[in-house]
Structure 1
Amino acid sequence: MDIRVFKTFIAVAENKHFGRAAETLYITQAAVSARIKQLEEFYATKLIIREKNNLRLTPSGDALLSHAHLMVSQMDQSKIALSIANQQKISFNIAATPNVWDAFFSNRIHDAIELLDNVALSTEISVREAIQRKLDDRTLDVGLLMDPIKDDEFTNELIGHFDLSLVGSRSTFDKNVEDYILVDWGITFQKEHALHHKVTPNFKTSTAMIALEVILSKGGFAYLPTELITQSLESQELFEIEAPLQIKRPIFMVYRKNNTNDELISQFKNLLMIIQ
């Protein structure tokens, strides 16, 4: 099936009009109709209902739409991959969980780009489960996590730490506060937090930057990276609270054993450890 047929289907679904879809794709309306017909014949089901001044997807059309987006996206990604291959550039893919990005890697991304200047570098922010899945299927070279992946197929290297501070918009804190924000700092932190804190959070997030923005705009308390809130403490926008938890969090660099990019992984590890 020609990928243009799926692009046409997406355009019709988004514009809810054959004529506007044709204008978007720079083809004739007849060509749009022909491609939709081809798709409906292929799947042996009606995908679009055309009524006067109204166009809508059938249940089958709704079901196909996400798959159409995926197929077009995968085709675009394959073109990028081939383009990179034609340029004889090695691809190197790094992912970090949201809080590792905020607390650790965001300040080091420029150094990584400079180090890997001759490499097709890709970075992303993703949840732990997705990072593990991509490492497993080899679409990712390195994951930066706060907790190691306990699997014999993976190497976990402790490359550094970052400090957390319990801070708030007020200088007093107890279990009765009603504006505490619980930030996800990994499995170990969650266990320690449950042991030492009886405060009930009114908001939860996996991203330190979101917690900081909420506190600065609406008030509240949260454990945040010390590097992130230094200026706010100095200006007394925030106040540091004495904390019962371990406030130094580890950073693990995780990768599959026998990775074809072993040399790049070693260079990247050395970079991160140098700029602690």
Structure 2
Amino acid sequence: MDTELLKTFLEVHRCRHFGKAAENLYLTQSAVSFRIRQLESQLGVSLFTRHRNNIQLTGAGERLLPHAEAMLLSWQRAKQDIALASHQSVQLAISASTNIWDPFLQRRLPLIYRSLGQVALRADTAPQDVLVRSLLERRLDMALLFDPPKVEELEVKEVGSLKLELVSSKPGQNLHSALNGPYVKVDWGTQFSIQHAKQLKEQAPPLLHTGIGRIALDFILDHGGSAFLPQGLTQEGIDNGSLYAVEGAPQLNRELYGAYLKDADRLNLVEHVCQLLLTPSDNLQ
């Protein structure tokens, strides 16, 4: 199967919009539509439903999603391993969910790169189930997760946390008005959902529910509303006056965990990275 078709499928799923996917892939919208039709033709199923620009995965698309992510992850690892073989370099593959990459891992990647010297890095994003499977199949050296997997073969260490603050596109919002106005709920993992349910009981149903923090951020900036987001995503908006902290809102913390095989091939390097990830944000350059 053409991996470009899978890349296009994943990008359309991420953006929920053919035009935005085309921009991100540096293609025309017609080219993106053609690739999706090709993939659907090869599989003999429809992958997306399209109703007034509301693009959603079909049942078949949902089933393809983890396979597409795993296939691309394996293909990228294979290409890089082959390319590195002639230089006899060591490669370390680190992956995280999108919600961990944006506010946490992205800022620490330069520190990891500088510390590891000649080690080549590969960084990707994927859902938790794909990450755990990739670890067990030795296609990944280390995964950053919100919820620690209870798998006997894996070592799990806490490597940091995210401070999630309720922000709004409107100034002067209190907790009640923010939660009962246009509110976007982001899935920050199981413990966040428990904290959210305990501390925020007087809440109307969310206008939007998403698993990606950046989708929530873009939505409230474009259409108004509020959401719990980490400082790494909101600081620019607060500085320029497009976002405001909600008065009286609790701060909800999410611990982050590094997971890797107990008998990992590059165990010393992985444990070193765990220590680097503990570096406070204020000490990053």
- Fold shared by both chains (TM-score > 0.5): yes
- Residues 245-268 of structure 1 deviation map (CA, whole Å, 9 limit, x = unaligned): 552221111111111101111221
* More off after superposition, 192-201 vs 241-250: 241-250
1:1-276 to structure 2, matched below 5 A, reads 62-63=42-43, 78-170=78-170, 171-172=172-173, 173-174=175-176, 177-195=180-198, 196-197=200-201, 198-242=203-247, 245=250, 247-276=252-281
* Cα shift at 1:119: 1.8
Question: Structure 1 pair 75/106, CA: closer, same or farther in 2 (3 Å)?
Answer: closer
- Percent identity between the aligned chains? 29
* Cα shift at 1:177: 2.8
Question: Structure 1 pair 242/152, CA: closer, same or farther in 2 (3 Å)?
Answer: farther
Q: 1:222 is matched by which residue type in structure 2?
A: A
Indicate conservation of the 8 Å contact 1:180/1:203, yes or no: yes
Indicate conservation of the 8 Å contact 2:102/2:232, yes or no: no
What SS is found at the alignment partner of 1:174? helix
What SS is found at the alignment partner of 2:220? helix
Question: Structure 1 pair 215/121, CA: closer, same or farther in 2 (3 Å)?
Answer: same
* TM-score for both structures, normalised by structure 1: 0.69
* Cα shift at 1:243: 5.7
Q: 1:181 is matched by which residue type in structure 2?
A: V
Indicate conservation of the 8 Å contact 2:183/2:227, yes or no: yes
Question: Structure 1 pair 202/77, CA: closer, same or farther in 2 (3 Å)?
Answer: same
Q: Residues of 1 paired with 2:146 and 2:72: CA distance?
A: 34
What SS is found at the alignment partner of 1:150? coil
State the Cα RMSD in Å: 3.2
Q: 1:152 is matched by which residue type in structure 2?
A: E
* More off after superposition, 190-199 vs 180-189: 190-199
Question: Structure 1 pair 215/76, CA: closer, same or farther in 2 (3 Å)?
Answer: closer
Q: Residues of 1 paired with 2:73 and 2:159: CA distance?
A: 34
Q: 1:263 is matched by which residue type in structure 2?
A: N
Question: Structure 1 pair 259/72, CA: closer, same or farther in 2 (3 Å)?
Answer: closer
* Cα shift at 1:128: 0.7
Question: Structure 1 pair 104/71, CA: closer, same or farther in 2 (3 Å)?
Answer: closer
Q: 1:85 is matched by which residue type in structure 2?
A: A
Q: Residues of 2 paired with 1:221 and 1:262: CA distance?
A: 42
Structure 1 runs (4+) deviating above 6 angstroms are 70-76
- Kindly name which structure, 1 or 2, has the bigger radius of gyration based on alpha carbons: 1
Question: Structure 1 pair 194/73, CA: closer, same or farther in 2 (3 Å)?
Answer: closer
